[in-house]
Amino acid sequence: MSEPSQRPLIELIAPLVEGDGYAPTRLSEVTLMASRRSVPRTPLIYDPSLIIVAQGYKIGHLGDREIHYGPGQYLVQTLPLPFECETHASLEAPLLGVSIRLDPALLGELVAAMGDIGEPQAPPVPMDSVSMTPGMEGAVERLLRTLHDPAETAAMGPQRVRDVVFEALRGQQGAALRALVNHQGHYSRIVQVLSWLHVHYAEDVSVEALAQRASMSPSSFHQHFRQVAQASPLQYLKRLRLIKAQQLLVQEAGNVNQAAEAVGYRSVSQFSRDYKRCFGISPLKHRQEERALQAS
C-alpha cells in the first residue's frame, strides 16, 4: 500500500511508462523507472542523481550500510559508487519512480547563487536516503506534470529540474552535494578520482597513479578512498568494470568477448570467473536470461 501523499506522483508516473526498466523522457536529465517484479540483491551503479520512489521500495547495500528508499524518501547519490540493490515490487503494486541526473554545471550555479549556508556538522556521505519535504514533493510533482505536456516540457522543463535540485541542496544531503562543487579537502580529491575512474575504467591504472592524481600519498589515498567508497581502489575498479560489462551484455548487442575487452579485461576466462563471483551467474547465461525476460 502506498502512502496517501504519494498518490499524485504514482498517478503522474504510471501513464508515462509502458514496461519494466528505465524510460527516457523529453528532458535528458529525467528518467522514469518501473518494475512489476521484485529483483533480488544485485550489483549496480547509478550516475550521480536523485532517485524518488513513489511506489514499491528499494534497499541499497554499500559496505556494511543498508539504505532504504521508498515512498516518503528519496535517494541522493552524489558519486558513481557500485553498490548492491534489491527491489521490492509486484504486478499489483509495481515500483514507480523517477531519476534526475545531477548536472555539475547546474549544481555549481545553484551553490554559487545560494551562498554560504554554514559548515556541515558531519563529513559528507556520498549516498543516503532523505525524508521528502513538502518543498521537494511539490517540486517533483510539478516536474512530472510538466512531462505530460510537450510544450510545457520544452518551455519549463529545465526550470522544473532546477527546482528539484534546489530542494535537494536545502535538504539533509545538501552538504554532500555542495562538496561536489566546493573543491576542498580529502573528500573532494577522492570525488575527482572517482569521477575520472568512471570515464577511464577500461585503462590500466595503479593505486600509486591514482594517489598522484589526488595529490596524496598512496597510504593516505587508500585510507580516504575506502572511507568514501566503502572499498579499496582496486576493488572499486573491478566492481565498476563488471557492472559496465553487465550493461553491455544486457542492454546492448555485445557478446562476452567484446564486453570483456571493452571494460579492460585482457583475459576472457578471468572476466568470466570474476563476473560469476560478482553476479552469481556466468556472463553468457546472464545475457541469455535477460534477453528471454525482455522478450516475454
Q: What is the DSSP letter of 170?
A: T
Sole residue written with cell 510538466: 146
Express each pLDDT in 66-94 by its tens digit. 999 999 999 999 888 888 999 999 999 99
Q: What is the mean pLDDT of the chain?
A: 89
What H or E segment, with its residue span, contains residue 234?
A: helix 233-251
pLDDT of residue 229: 86
Phi-psi region of 77 (alpha: psi -120 to 50; beta: other; left: phi over 0): beta
Express each pLDDT in 145-156 by its tens digit. 999 999 999 999
pLDDT (average), residues 54-65: 92
Nearest to 285 by CA among 239, 246, 258, 252: 246
Express each pLDDT in 156-176 by its tens digit. 999 999 999 999 999 999 988
pLDDT of residue 2: 47
pLDDT of residue 1: 42
Express each pLDDT in 169-202 by its tens digit. 999 999 889 888 876 678 888 888 988 998 899 9
The residues, ordered by sequence, that sit 6+ positions from 113 with a Cβ below 8 Å of its Cβ are none
Nearest to 77 by CA among 64, 88, 63, 67: 67
The whole-model pTM stands at: 0.82
Contact 232, 222 (CB under 8 A): yes
Query: If DSSP codes are grouped into helix, strand and coil, which group holds residue 153?
Result: helix
Q: Apex CA 217: angle with CA 216 and CA 223, to 5°?
A: 85
- Angstrom distance (rounded) from CA 197 to CA 80: 9
Angle between helices 233-251 and 218-229 (to 10 degrees): 50
